[in-house]
Amino acid sequence: MRVAVTGAGGFVGRAVVSALLAAGHEAVGVTRSGSAVAGAATRAAALDRPDQVTAALGDVDAVCHLAAVVRVRDSRADPLGTWRTNLGGTLAVLDAVPPGARVVLASTAALGAGDPPPEHPYGASKLAAEVALGEVATTGAIGAVSLRLANVAGPGDRDPTRLIPAILAAAAGRTGEFVVNGDGSAVRDLLHVADAATAFVAALGAADPGTFSVVPVGSGRPVAIREVLDAVGRVTGRPVPVGHREAAAEAPAVRVDPSRARDELGWTPRWSTIEQIVRDAWDDLDES
């Protein structure tokens, strides 16, 4: 299949392009600037320019739609921009794809079951995008899968605000202390970026026209923040300098059951142990 990847220049987008190529697909990287993406033909399209989105997606068989505002903090600072990108951009993609196309949406495990409603524009806009995706799919115009991804981590992540890069930077002496909210007991599901990428490839095979499904994708191995710190110390051989502050207003635990992804997509995580994630991210940091 010829598969477009919106947000192809991002951390997960680059991995999805690589996974598509490894599976024998033709990859088309779609970015705002049209900047080169290794292994993919590249096209420029801004999600707020429907004419550009149509030109970029009009001849593809499928789309992995990753381009989005992804930080809760940013969504609260600019809620209208978040809605324009996360919902408006998804509508532009749905309007642009040819009849019978397959669409896989990058959503978030933070939605849980969607009840109670998300408390921030990021989650709310992602939930709305899922609703739009499902309603279009039920007309038979497309087939669609929404992947509710756990916290993706591993090599290639250059965002210093995310958990693994921030801890590794502290371990490497590139920053000061890593500051823990509360006592470090908050639990998260960390998903290796390579596993996230193969989930998109698997979802394409399940997105038959006229069908729609929402599939949680995670490691199924939740870890506390203090366990991540311990793993970094073991893998790197360097103790992480740690400071503490009051617990933040955040979910105490995010757990993802990957059994539905196994049953519906034939996908299982292969690389998402905390040790593997840390090792691969550390090796990548050393090379950067």
Residues 225-248 pLDDT 10s:
999 999 999 999 999 999 988 876
Concatenating the DSSP letter of every residue in 73-116 gives: HHHHH-HHHHHIIIIIHHHHHHHHSPTT-EEEEEEEGGGTTS-S
Between the CA of residue 57 and those of 37, 111, 190, 268, what are the distances in Å? 16, 28, 31, 29
The tokens for 12 are 């997960």
Its pTM stands at 0.95
Residue 251: is its pLDDT beyond 80? Answer: no
Sign of CA dihedral 216, 250, 78, 16: negative
User: Could you report the per-residue pLDDT of 28-81, keeping only the tens digit for each?
Assistant: 999 999 888 898 999 999 999 999 999 999 999 999 999 999 888 889 999 999
Q: Give the pLDDT score at 72.
A: 86
Q: Which of 188, 186, 250, 189 is nearest to 217 (CA)?
A: 189
The pLDDT assigned to 249 comes to: 66
Neighbour-count burial for 37-74, b at 16+ CB within 10 Å, e otherwise: beebebbebbbeebebbeebbeebbbbbbbbbbbebee
Which domains, and CATH codes, for the chain?
Answer: 2-287 (3.40.50.720)
Q: What average pLDDT is seen over the chain?
A: 94
**Mean pLDDT value of segment 92-112:** 95
Cα angle 274-276-278, degrees, rounded to a multiple of 5: 65
Band the pLDDT of 192: cuts 50, 70, 90: very high
pLDDT tens sequence across 66-88: 999 988 888 999 999 999 999 99
